[in-house]
Amino acid sequence: MRNLHSFFYLLLLFTFLNSCKENDKQSSNENKNLSIPADLIITNAKIAVMDEGRSFQKALAVKDGKILKTGDITDIERLKGAQTKVIDANGRTVIPGLNDSHLHLTRGGRFYNTELRWDGVKSLKKALQLLKEQAERTPKGQWVRVIGGWSPFQFEEKRFPTPEEINEATGNVPTYVLFLYSRAWLNKAGLDVLGINEKTKAPEGSSFEKSSGGKLTGVLLAEPNPTILYARIGSLPSLTEAEMVNSTKQFYRELNRLGITSGIDAGGGGHKFPKDYKGTDVLAKTGEMPIRLSYYLFPQNKGKEYEEFQEWMTTNKIGHNGEINLDHGYELEGGGEFLAWSAGDFENFLAPQPMLKDRPTWREDIKKIIQLHVDKGWPFRIHATYGESIANILDVIEEVNQETKGKLAQERWLFDHAETVKQTELKRIKALNGGIAIQARMAYAGEYFVERYGAEKAKQAPPIKKMLEMGIPVGAGTDGTRVASYNPWPALYWLISGKTVGEFQLAEPANKLSREEALHLYTQGSAWVSKEENVKGTLENGMYADFTILSDDYFTIPEININRLESVMTVVNGKVVYATEEFAEMNPPIPEVIPDWSPVKYYGGYQK
């Protein structure tokens, strides 16, 4: 027995000495790192590290694209070398770069220069004036287009434009105005160019609105199928490749202006891979990406989704993008968000809720695609607005998990949207190690949700607090650029206040987030969606140096002013990718907007 005790004593001593050796080695490495001069130092700042303790520091140092250290100004200034760039933040607040977990970046960049944005416009009168001005400069063969990102409740008038107002503003220039994926307006010139008349048949689940006299009004209605809206967008003239690359540069600069350093692309209808990703591909290949972008592949051919995924899985690898080798800069994440079109529900709160039971093949269609993803080790995400859809799809996911003996949990999977998910289904998602990405769609359509489903149901739509209390991974985003604006600040305001862009109170107090909670979902919470929570989302030592210096203090300004925040400097991988006049000498050059008639050249994007 004494020999046994001696053996255990020696074993413990050896373990202790080895641990000390490792600690000394780690400490030595840290000291060695901290003796190397930093590339960049931010000083005189209020730095929200967003670590577990939600600590604040006054300065930070960057080396090789990563956070070297945060701390007091004196501590950080010791890391200054002859080549170190030092930036005085002038007392401003610094936060980790925002990460939108559901933003249609590549598609948004593809079309950005063609679109007149009503995002942020405060009156319908002003919106129609912009429409008129744009019509006057739009050349023959092109269209005026307002493709989502707005709500009638953001206007002082609290209403939609009428067909007559749109026709008066645009005259003979073909025009298309989209409201979310609920309805759209074609002016008379647009109807004529597309050859749409009273005899034109609408896709199933949609209609062309007619007057009492049987004449087309120009209003297109998704009831709730948005195919009628997709088809019209797809028929509009496209940009040249050079214009598309320019458009993508302008859009990503706009996102940087708003403090976004990362985004997760959920694919999108009418956006084919790899053909329609050209603008972003060019930037990635030439080393010009100012944003970290992960993307999921969205099948386009209804009824042939399984075959599309089979082909993609044969020719593409998760975490890569062909020959483009960028460390967490531009990479493929998995499949989504409509894995199978027959299993998709639509977020049109102006129309009755679609039910999966009305589509006889939905279960078979989505099961074999989920099975394929699990077998091939591909993460996946599923569009599901309603709790009933989520419950039905979970039946299928549980079957696949059982049949694969728990293989599902080896990769990330999640639901998108989940506005009316029930607690029963949250427990099932938790049990299967799933996550949820929530977006600010209710901020743009909440009034219509209340009109259809009632104010009581809106109080927990979606039940974000319950998700967090249950320990479910949650990422935040916008679902921009069509069913909401891409601006993250109205989305953060919605999470914190529970109010729409029209200041209508939706969420009850128990479902509102603190500013720290909301910011966490928009940083490290979103990083979970792309399996990057260990490299970005906080400003802790060793994490990516992706951060933004804000125009005002997010943590203390009046709640309503959160809507107006933007960046005065945005840094990605330790390099300045955007700066305002305050730091003008550090603002990277960007080419002039093309084509010359582009609305972006005259109005920019989000309207102040």
Residue 27 banded pLDDT, cuts 50, 70, 90:
very low
Give the mean model confidence (pLDDT) for residues 214-234: 94
Give the mean model confidence (pLDDT) for residues 48-62: 98
Give per-residue pLDDT as tens, 398-427. Answer: 999 999 999 998 999 999 999 999 999 999
pLDDT (0 to 100) of residue 302: 92
Q: For all residues of the chain together, what is the average pLDDT?
A: 94
Amino acid letter for position 305: E
Is 29's pLDDT higher than 70? no
pLDDT (0 to 100) of residue 326: 61
pLDDT (0 to 100) of residue 5: 53
The strands making up 66-71's β-sheet, listed across from edge to edge, are 66-71, 59-63, 40-43, 85-88
pLDDT (0 to 100) of residue 35: 66
pLDDT (0 to 100) of residue 25: 44
Residue 436 banded pLDDT, cuts 50, 70, 90:
very high
**Residue 327 half-sphere exposure toward CB, CA atoms < 13 A:** 8
Q: How far apart are CA 318 and CA 36, in angstroms?
A: 35
Residue 36 banded pLDDT, cuts 50, 70, 90:
confident
Residues of the chain above pLDDT 90, percent = 90
Structure tokens at 366: 């989505």
Is 20's pLDDT higher than 60? no
Is 581's pLDDT higher than 90? yes
Is 323's pLDDT higher than 50? yes
pLDDT (0 to 100) of residue 362: 97
Give the mean model confidence (pLDDT) for residues 333-343: 95
pLDDT (0 to 100) of residue 319: 85
- Which distant-in-sequence residues (6+ apart) come within 8 Å of 294 by Cβ? 262, 263, 264, 265, 328, 330, 331, 332, 333, 530, 532
Dihedral sign from CA coordinates of 308, 314, 318, 320: negative
Lowest mean pLDDT among 66-75, 208-217, 322-331, 438-447: 322-331
Is 321's pLDDT higher than 80? no
Beta strands in 156-205 (DSSP E): 175-179, 183-186
| Residue ranges of domains in the chain, CATH in brackets | 108-237+595-603 (no CATH), 241-546 (3.20.20.140)
- Which distant-in-sequence residues (6+ apart) come within 8 Å of 89 by Cβ? 42, 43, 44, 45, 549
CA distances for 123 relative to 116, 129, 136, 155, angstroms: 15, 10, 20, 4
CB burial of residue 582 (10 Å; 0-12, 13-18, 19+): middle
Give per-residue pLDDT as tens, 558-575. Answer: 999 999 999 999 999 999
pLDDT (0 to 100) of residue 4: 46
Give the mean model confidence (pLDDT) for residues 214-232: 94
Helical pair 387-403 and 423-431, crossing angle rounded to 10 deg = 20
Give the mean model confidence (pLDDT) for residues 42-65: 98
Question: What is the DSSP code (8-state) at residue 586?
Answer: G
Alpha helices in 473-545 (DSSP H): 488-497, 515-520, 526-529
Residues of the chain above pLDDT 70, percent = 93
Is 320's pLDDT higher than 80? no
pLDDT (0 to 100) of residue 87: 98
pLDDT (0 to 100) of residue 28: 44
Give the mean model confidence (pLDDT) for residues 142-158: 98
At residue 571, φ and ψ (nearest 5 deg) are -120, 130
Contact assessment for residue 569 and residue 548, using Cβ atoms and an 8 Å cutoff: yes
Name the residue among 525, 508, 523 with its Cα closest to residue 467: 525
Give the mean model confidence (pLDDT) for residues 354-379: 96
Q: How far apart are CA 277 and CA 109, in angstroms?
A: 9
pLDDT (0 to 100) of residue 461: 98
Give per-residue pLDDT as tens, 439-495. Answer: 999 999 999 999 999 999 999 999 999 999 999 999 999 999 999 999 999 999 999
- Which distant-in-sequence residues (6+ apart) come within 8 Å of 87 by Cβ? 40, 41, 42, 43, 569, 583, 586
Is 159's pLDDT higher than 50? yes
Contact assessment for residue 479 and residue 145, using Cβ atoms and an 8 Å cutoff: no
- Which distant-in-sequence residues (6+ apart) come within 8 Å of 254 by Cβ? 112, 486, 604, 605, 606
Is 588's pLDDT higher than 80? yes
Peptide bond into 595 cis (omega under 30): yes
Give the mean model confidence (pLDDT) for residues 136-163: 98
Is the backbone of residue 440 left (phi > 0), alpha (psi -120 to 50) or beta? alpha
CA 186 to chain CA mean position, Å: 28
Residue 579 banded pLDDT, cuts 50, 70, 90:
very high
Structure tokens at 291: 């944003």
CA angle 137, 140, 146 (to 5 degrees): 60
Residue 31 banded pLDDT, cuts 50, 70, 90:
very low
Alpha helices in 221-352 (DSSP H): 227-234, 241-257, 278-285, 305-315
Contact assessment for residue 182 and residue 220, using Cβ atoms and an 8 Å cutoff: no
